[in-house]
Amino acid sequence: MTDTLVVSSVNAVLLLTLNRPERHNSLDAALVSEIHKALEETRDDAGIRVVVLQGEGESFCAGHDPEYLISISPNPPMDHAGESLAFLRMLYELRAFPKPTIARVQGAAISGGCCLALACDIVVAAEEARFGFPDVRFGFVPGAAVPLLVERVGAASARELLLRGNVVDADTAMDLGMINYVVGAGELDASVEKLAFEIAEKTSPEAVRLTKRLYFDVLSMDFAGAMRHTAAFEALARTTESHHAGLDAIREQRKPSWE
């Protein structure tokens, strides 16, 4: 446990809890560093199958802390570049993390907080949750948001959301493709828990890791290149222990065990 991030686990599910509720879990350099560190330390932990990112209190994450931004505003450009790069590296680690990641969102997921949610594989939100990038309304440029939002909602919707700087409710966010599920506030914990344990118990960790890697590989390829890469990747995957364990389960007419 740290002051700004609580790291805990339930069976094979790791819980990363942003722990600045009095500041709506807003981001500063320390919290960004703690998230990155926790992910790096868990990357090769075979006992962890799924990561859940959540926030303590009323909000998931309201973006970068205004007091923190004010405190670093006099710094020279190179310092700002370093701070921005640290945030981007953390987002990259979260997005490319080899284990499935789930964002559990209540209240505000704004700007940098929305980036955190969109970088996860699956986003489950309470009905009252709010999403968006109001950066341009305050003279900021939502740089980290651009690739994440375009990947989720497409270029046209991303352009409007970023240029208008408006914040949308959970139902609108799901209609746009920003998030995956909207549930009642009282159902949020149970919904996330069910989803996390389903993935942890019913999927092969090796197959999930390879599938996630393949997904990101093909994003930057044209269709023909993606097909060639996929064929080679699938051929390699069929030599893995998990593939043979799955075949054994089919042949023996039983459910596979991924212990």
Greater model confidence, 180 or 11: 180
pTM: 0.93
Q: What is the pLDDT of residue 248?
A: 86
Q: Per residue, what are the HEC states of 110-134?
A: ECHHHHHHHHCCEEEEECCCEEECH
pLDDT digits (tens, 9 = 90+) for 163-175: 999 999 999 999 9
Q: Structure tokens of 184?
A: 């009642």
Beta-strand ranges (E) seen in the chain are 5-10, 13-18, 50-55, 101-105, 108-110, 122-126, 130-132, 167-169, 181-183
pLDDT digits (tens, 9 = 90+) for 51-103: 999 999 999 999 999 999 899 889 888 888 888 899 999 999 999 999 999 99
Break the chain into its structural domains and give their ranges: 5-201, 204-251
pLDDT digits (tens, 9 = 90+) for 178-213: 999 999 999 999 999 999 999 999 999 999 999 999
Q: What is the pLDDT of residue 1?
A: 44
pLDDT digits (tens, 9 = 90+) for 95-124: 999 999 999 999 999 999 999 999 999 999
Distance, in Å, from the CA atom of 61 to the CA atom of 67, rounded to the nearest integer, reads 15
Q: Are 17 and 6 in contact (CB under 8 A)?
A: yes
Phi, psi dihedral angles at 33 (to 5 degrees):
-65, -40
Q: Are 131 and 110 in contact (CB under 8 A)?
A: yes
CATH for 5-201 is 3.90.226.10
Q: Structure tokens of 69?
A: 């931004």
In our burial notation (b when 16+ CB lie closer than 10 A, e otherwise), range 203-222 reads bbbbbbebebebeeebeeee
Distance, in Å, from the CA atom of 67 to the CA atom of 69, rounded to the nearest integer, reads 5
